[in-house]
Amino acid sequence: MPGNWILHVDLDQFIAAVEVARHPELRGRPVIVGGTGDPTQRAVVATASYEAREFGVHSGMPLRTAAKRCPDAVFLPVDKPAYEEVSERVMATLRRFPVVVEVLGWDEAFVGASTDDPEALAAEIRRAVTEDSGLSCSVGIGDNRLRAKTATGFGKPAGVYRLTEDNWSEVMDGRPTEALQGIGRRTAKKLAELGIETVGALAAADRDALAARFGPTMGPWFRLLARGLGDREVTATPYVPRSRSREVTFQQNLTEPAEIAREVAALAALVADDVVAEGRPAARVAVKVRFAPFITQTRSMTLDAPTSDAEVLREAALRVLARFESTRPVRLLGVRAEFEVKDE
């Protein structure tokens, strides 16, 4: 009888790969995508090709830093419509298979399948994606979502890997806790303070001790992560953005409060247009401020009622801006409208 499997399909170095497909002459060269493509301007790396990553370049890094680490890189501007078009094409390819497809974003999706040979299905998916888009993908196979997504990391680049209850402990127990989805550097450091440095140690940790350190919800949840336990359901629902945002990095720091307020108001107007286009009212407004040299803070507020009204969103953004106390120069501003999330 066929078994029920979850496959996690992840497009390799997606944005960079799209750019290389458009510009074949860049194949094999270090490619960095971000901002307007000008490394002398203030912006951050959206993605870097594997060749650029070898120089220590990674997403979120300032373009100027990336240029210092990899001076021979080719810098390209972000082209969101192009990435959306390719992503939609790939997801359409996945839906041609007798599977359930749950889109997670531009470059990844869960696939629920009933098959007695998940590796063969993964190979067929990889082949079809390459034929239809020219891109490569990695596929993680698991008996739940967590194990499937974790498996993808072992399959990269352009490979397939299976991770299930049978081999979870063998593969994961000796790895650092940061190898788990959902555990970052800070949490790993706090776990280490408790003498927990590996996935295996976390899986065997005392539940009450974890709850005392991280809270009654997060502490036990970390223990479940370490045991590879997770949701087994894949839902065929389209990807629905939870928010719309706009931000801008300034070439010269802003120092005048009135000027900062004008920029936030302008960003809020753009976000309001996006909210109207989305066809869903916003329930919350957030403002992001990056102070010089590189300290980022975010504040937010819940609206009295969900709305698409531009004036209400603008006023909310300005009220949130007033909550920032720092008088340091500002290098980046962002405004985000978050949509109402309803329980299923």
Break the chain into its structural domains and give their ranges: 1-166, 173-226, 243-339
Query: What is the chain's alpha carbon radius of gyration, rounded to the nearest angstrom?
Result: 22
Domains 1-166 and 173-226 share a fold: no
Look-up of token digits 């937010």: 300
pTM assigned to the model: 0.74
Catalytic entry in 19, 51, 102, 108: 108
* Spans of the chain, pLDDT less than 50: 1, 343-344
Given this model, what pLDDT does residue 327 score?
81
Given this model, what pLDDT does residue 23 score?
87
Strand ranges for the chain from DSSP E: 3-11, 31-33, 47-48, 74-76, 100-105, 108-115, 137-142, 160-163, 243-254, 282-291, 295-307, 330-339
Query: Domain 173-226 sits in which CATH superfamily?
Result: 5' to 3' exonuclease, C-terminal subdomain (1.10.150.20)
Given this model, what pLDDT does residue 138 score?
98
Can you tell me the distance from the alpha carbon of 10 to that of 269, in angstroms, rounded to the nearest whole number?
34
Q: In what order do the strands lie in the sheet with 330-339?
A: 243-254, 330-339, 282-291, 295-307
pLDDT tens, position by position, 260-315: 999 999 999 999 999 999 899 999 999 999 898 878 889 999 999 999 999 999 99
Given this model, what pLDDT does residue 259 score?
95
Cross-strand pairs, 333: 248, 289
CATH node for 1-166: 3.30.70.270
Can you tell me the distance from the alpha carbon of 60 to that of 66, in angstroms, rounded to the nearest whole number?
10
CATH node for 243-339: 3.30.1490.100
What does DSSP assign to residue 2?
Answer: P
108 catalytic? Reply is yes
